[in-house]
């Protein structure tokens, strides 16, 4: 309790002769409450100042900049163009391509990457010799920085000289196309993303699986459930919260995907593997069209934000009880 709250308490106590109850009880409570709010405000102040400066203010500045045509030079933007930047975005083939690429990557993650991570997590939950080594191996790619992974795979998939290129050549797939063919490159990128991130989701699932008491599995077995039935009706439902958060992280991560793409393909060839963040960077830092780049960043923000809110509201509702939703129930 802070000093002002203490003082308020003392003042309230001295103003009232001991033993006298009644009307003065009400002011006491409200004074105490306001003292508590002061304390809360004081404790929150540093965090609030930082949050305002580093998060809220940039949002406002970005929103402001996004309605100007501005090359970034000469103080503040002056050429107000309303929503033209956003209109342009909706006609911009590259931006629409980004949306499509993002959607493909998200769907592939849901259909391939996460089930793969779940499968391996369940396998690695079995007792067998060298289990820890396998866990380490599968998790290792996640520890690498995105840039290092990107550089590594440009070499592996380079033309027909890298290892990946050679293997593809051997299989008759044409190694040079892995990065050089606009129709294929997105899937090559997805392969690398999966390699990099499935270990992270695997660890999430593994931790989730270990939280499920073995008694439940055992009793299902005793009741005569097949392994598939056990998985379908016991393990999977109990992994629900983990799966929901893993899907959430995966989608948000895909919307913001930048470093890996920038290092790995620069978004090319001909924008075939470009993401919104890459387009934003290209316009902001290479084309000096800061206004338009900011409009793209605002679009990214809105997409992430709407998705995050909707997902938490509707999908993760039960998991987040008391954190984001359901405040009312606690009062």
Partner 1 sequence: MTAYTPMPRRAFLGALGAGATMLGLGACSSGSSGSGDPNAAQTIEWWHIANTPPMLPVWQQLADAYTAAHPNVKFNITPIENEAFKAKMTTETQSGHAPHLFHTWGGGVLKQQVDAGLVKDITGDVAGTVSGISPAAMDAYLIDGKTYALPNDIGMVGFWYNKALFSKAGISKPPATWAELLDDVRKLKGAGVVPIAIAGQAKWPEMYYWTYLAMRMVGTDGLKKAFTDKKFDSPELIQAGKHLKELADLQPFQNGFLAAPYDQPTGQAATMGNAQAAMELMGQWAPSVEKEQSGKGIGADLDFFPFPAVDGGKGKATDMMGGGGGFAVGKDAPPATVDFLKFLLQPENIKKGIATGAILPVVKGTDDAVSDADAKKVVAQVEKSTSFHLYPDQAWPPSVGQALNDSVSQLVAGAMTPEAVAKALTEAAQNA
Q: For residues 248-277, which are near partner 1 according to CB under 8 A?
A: 248-249, 252, 255-256, 265-266, 268-270, 277
- 275: alpha, beta or left, given left = phi > 0 and alpha = psi -120 to 50? beta
Of 221 and 320, nearer to partner 1 (C-beta) is 320
Among 123, 141, 301, 317, binds partner 1 (CB under 8 A): 301
- What angle do helix axes 93-108 and 236-255 make, rounded to 10 degrees? 160
Question: Strand, coil or helix: what is 80?
Answer: strand
Please name the helix (run of DSSP H) or strand (run of DSSP E) that holds residue 79, with its range, or none: strand 79-80
One symbol per residue from 200 to 229: x for binding partner 1 (CB under 8 A), - otherwise; what is it?
----x--xx--x------------------
Nearest to 259 by CA among 100, 90, 144: 144
Q: Which is nearer to partner 1, 6 or 50 (CB)?
A: 50
Q: Measured from the CB atom, is 141 or 241 closer to partner 1?
A: 241
Q: How many CB atoms lie within 10 A of CB 8?
A: 20
Size of the site for partner 1 (CB under 8 A): 73
Q: Minimal distance in Å, beta carbon 160 to partner 1?
A: 6
Distances (CA, A) of 137 to 23, 132, 278: 71, 9, 31
Is 325 one of the binding residues for partner 1 (CB under 8 A)? no
Six token digits for residue 275:
């993401």
| Positions 121 through 180 that interact with partner 1 (CB under 8 A) | 154-155, 158-162, 165, 175-177, 179-180
Taking the complex as a whole, how short is the minimal distance between the CB of residue 273 and partner 1, in angstroms? Answer: 10
Longest CA–CA separation in the chain, Å:
95
80 binds partner 1 (CB under 8 A): no
| 3-state DSSP percent of the chain in helix, strand and coil, to 5 | 70, 0, 25
The residue among 124 and 245 lying less far from partner 1, judged by its C-beta, is 245
5 vs 188 by CB, closer to partner 1: 188
298 binds partner 1 (CB under 8 A): yes
- Which position has the token pair 């606690």? 330
Q: What's the rounded Cα separation, in Å, for the pair 55 and 327?
A: 24
CA-based R_g, the chain, Å: 27
> Pick from 89, 105, 121, 185: which binds partner 1 (CB under 8 A)?
185
Is the CB of 188 or the CB of 230 nearer to partner 1?
A: 188
Question: Which of 6/302 has CB closer to partner 1?
Answer: 302
Residue 280 contacts partner 1 per CB under 8 A: yes
Q: How many angstroms from the chain centroid is the CA of residue 172?
A: 37
Residues 40-69 that bind partner 1 (CB under 8 A): 53-55, 57-59, 61-62, 65, 69
């Amino acid at each position: 309790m802070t000093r002002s709250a203490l003082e308020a308490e003392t003042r309230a106590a001295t103003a009232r002769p001991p033993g006298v109850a009644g009307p003065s009880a009400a002011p006491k409570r409200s004074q105490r409450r306001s003292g508590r709010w002061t304390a809360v405000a004081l404790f929150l102040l540093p965090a609030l100042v930082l949050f305002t400066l580093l998060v809220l203010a940039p949002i406002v500045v970005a929103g402001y900049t996004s309605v100007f045509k501005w090359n970034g030079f000469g103080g503040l933007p002056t050429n107000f163009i309303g929503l033209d930047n956003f209109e342009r975005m909706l006609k911009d083939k590259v931006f629409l391509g980004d949306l499509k690429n993002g959607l493909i990557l998200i769907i592939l993650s849901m259909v391939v990457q996460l089930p793969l991570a779940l499968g391996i997590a369940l396998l690695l939950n079995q007792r067998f010799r060298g289990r820890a080594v396998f866990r380490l191996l599968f998790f290792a790619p996640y520890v690498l920085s995105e840039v290092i992974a990107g550089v590594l795979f440009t070499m592996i998939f380079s033309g027909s000289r890298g290892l990946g290129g050679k293997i593809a050549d051997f299989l008759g797939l044409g190694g040079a196309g892995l990065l050089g063919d606009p129709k294929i490159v997105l899937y090559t990128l997805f392969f690398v993303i999966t390699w990099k991130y499935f270990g992270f989701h695997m660890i999430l699932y593994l931790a989730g699986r270990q939280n499920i008491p073995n008694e439940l599995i055992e009793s299902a077995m005793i009741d005569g459930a097949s392994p598939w039935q056990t998985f379908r009706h016991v393990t999977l439902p109990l992994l629900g919260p983990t799966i929901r958060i893993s899907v959430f992280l995966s989608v948000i991560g895909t919307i913001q995907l930048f470093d890996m793409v920038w290092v790995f393909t620069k978004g090319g060839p001909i924008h075939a593997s470009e993401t919104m963040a890459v387009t934003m960077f290209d316009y902001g830092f290479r084309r000096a069209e800061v206004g338009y780049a900011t409009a793209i960043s605002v679009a990214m923000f809105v997409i992430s934000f709407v998705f995050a809110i909707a997902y938490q509201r509707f999908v993760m509702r039960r998991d987040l009880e008391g954190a984001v939703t359901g405040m009312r129930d606690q009062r």
